[in-house]
């Protein structure tokens, strides 16, 4: 089969991945599931993996097939698999978990002590076939296209996971902010609108993204090139600040907004990454606000997100690309030229 492989870390996206012919995976273990990939979303994390940003956090052995946002049709199953059968459409949680360690028994998929992460620690879905396991696949309802829904396997579930935490702290009349209305942010904004009665303000550098935010439910928009963000938030909230911030950018500048825009007792959820948190400890003590990290989400949360998609509450903006165009996608995302999500169709 054909697969897009990373052989060495690089900052040059123009030839980062090589299309190669490799062996097709087979279901050798009792819980194995082999999926014929219909769609694999390209994520900013893929760019970061190519740059080597993850080497300090997880074990990686190159060459490796990237791609962690995967959906398709089951082509083969292990002897003990009962959840799905050949021919079933599925979306794949990116993490294959063991089910027996303490975090798994607590339902914390992302903390599994024996996990494999497609496209990050083991081969992913930028290929014709993907090897995963039964605990990672979610059957799709009739009428849901595996190609269209693929980015929800990471972008969607990550945004949903962050929003679900924020919604627990939001009451009707509270104010929430979404920073970055891109591939993750446009999903998070829709989830926030569907799951809360909060007033939503969207922040983005692109007017087109702010127009999209308005279409998706934002009540107010701010372009930092035209307005001072803390001043604008102060005017919107009578200087009290916002209860929850969902930061889908995670740059130094956006995390730096927190002391000036988060209300006492509120949270700044860091979803995008690449920047740093540079705040004096006194700022957190004085404002009693928190920075909260977000790492993908639980299997059950992906089920819940699929339900929102089926109900028409969340819509993905996607563009499809052939496997041969994969480095073009990497370059375009690096330059901020992709609206919504790019989906590779092997």
DSSP bridge partners of 17: 6
| Mean of pLDDT values over 7-31 | 96
For helices 185-195 and 155-167, the axis angle rounded to 10 degrees is: 40
The number of beta carbons lying within 10 Å of the beta carbon of residue 54 is 17
SS3 229: helix
Q: Which residues contact 335 (CB under 8 A, 6 or more apart)?
A: none
Residues of the chain with CATH 3.40.50.720: 157-293
By DSSP bridging, strand 199-203 and strand 116-117 are: unpaired
Residues of the chain with CATH 3.90.180.10: 2-154+296-345
- Over the range 189-200, which residues count as b (16 or more CB within 10 Å of their CB) and which as e? bbbbbbbbebbb
Q: What CATH code would you report for 157-293? A: 3.40.50.720
The number of beta carbons lying within 10 Å of the beta carbon of residue 217 is 15
Contact 70, 150 (CB under 8 A): yes
Q: Does domain 2-154+296-345 have CATH number 3.30.930.10?
A: no
| Mean of pLDDT values over 60-84 | 97
For helices 299-310 and 155-167, the axis angle rounded to 10 degrees is: 100
pLDDT per residue as tens digits for the range 254-310: 999 999 999 999 999 999 998 999 988 998 898 899 999 999 999 999 999 999 999
Q: Which two tokens stand for residue 92?
A: 């794949």
CA separation, residue 184 to residues 27, 161, 177, 273 (Å): 32, 11, 14, 12
Contact 228, 250 (CB under 8 A): no
Phi/psi at 62 (nearest 5 deg)?
Answer: -95, 150
Contact 294, 162 (CB under 8 A): yes
Q: Which two tokens stand for residue 188?
A: 């998070």
CA separation, residue 36 to residues 40, 42, 77, 80, 115 (Å): 11, 17, 12, 19, 22
pLDDT at residue 164, rounded to an integer: 97
Q: Which of 90, 4, 97, 95 is nearest to 46 (CA)?
A: 4
DSSP bridge partners of 177: 201, 245
| Mean of pLDDT values over 221-230 | 97
What is the Cα–Cα distance from 208 to 339, expressed in whole angstroms? Answer: 9
pLDDT per residue as tens digits for the range 88-106: 999 999 999 999 999 999 9
By DSSP bridging, strand 64-65 and strand 116-117 are: unpaired
SS3 103: helix
What is the Cα–Cα distance from 292 to 283, expressed in whole angstroms? Answer: 15
What pTM was computed for the model?
0.92
pLDDT per residue as tens digits for the range 130-164: 999 999 999 999 989 999 999 999 999 999 999 99
Q: Which residues contact 88 (CB under 8 A, 6 or more apart)?
A: 73, 74, 139, 140
Residue 323 Cα to chain centre, angstroms:
21
Percent of the chain with pLDDT over 90: 90
pLDDT at residue 340, rounded to an integer: 79
Q: Which residues contact 156 (CB under 8 A, 6 or more apart)?
A: 149, 187, 302, 305, 309, 314, 316
């Amino acid at each position: 089969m054909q697969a897009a492989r990373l052989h060495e870390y690089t900052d040059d996206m123009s030839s980062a991945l090589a299309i190669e012919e490799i062996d097709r995976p087979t279901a050798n273990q009792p819980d194995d599931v082999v999926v014929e990939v219909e769609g694999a979303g390209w994520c900013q994390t893929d760019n970061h993996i190519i740059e080597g940003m993850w080497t300090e956090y997880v074990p990686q052995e190159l060459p490796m097939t990237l791609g962690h946002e995967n959906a398709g049709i089951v082509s083969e199953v292990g002897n003990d698999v009962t959840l799905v059968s050949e021919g079933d459409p599925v979306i794949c949680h990116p993490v294959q978990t063991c089910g027996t360690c303490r975090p798994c028994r607590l339902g914390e998929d992302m903390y599994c002590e024996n996990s494999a992460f497609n496209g990050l620690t083991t081969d992913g879905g930028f290929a014709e076939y993907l090897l995963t396991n039964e605990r990672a696949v979610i059957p799709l309802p009739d009428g849901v296209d595996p190609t269209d829904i693929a980015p929800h396997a990471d972008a969607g579930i990550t945004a949903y996971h962050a929003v679900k935490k924020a919604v627990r702290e939001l009451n009707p009349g509270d104010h929430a902010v979404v920073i970055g209305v891109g591939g993750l942010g446009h999903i998070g904004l829709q989830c926030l609108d569907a799951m809360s009665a909060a007033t939503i303000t969207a922040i983005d550098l692109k007017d087109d993204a702010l127009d999209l935010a308005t279409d998706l439910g934002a009540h107010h928009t701010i372009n930092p090139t035209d307005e001072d963000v803390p001043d604008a938030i102060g005017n919107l909230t009578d200087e009290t600040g916002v209860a929850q911030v969902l930061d889908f950018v995670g740059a130094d500048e956006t995390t730096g907004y927190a002391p000036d825009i988060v209300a006492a007792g509120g949270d700044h959820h860091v979803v995008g990454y690449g920047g740093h948190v540079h705040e004096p400890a006194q700022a957190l003590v004085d404002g009693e606000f928190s920075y909260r990290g977000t790492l993908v989400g639980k299997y059950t949360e992906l089920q819940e997100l699929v339900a929102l998609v089926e109900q028409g509450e969340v819509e993905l903006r996607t563009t499809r690309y052939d496997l041969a165009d994969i480095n073009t996608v990497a370059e375009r995302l690096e330059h901020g030229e992709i609206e919504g999500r790019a989906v590779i169709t092997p």
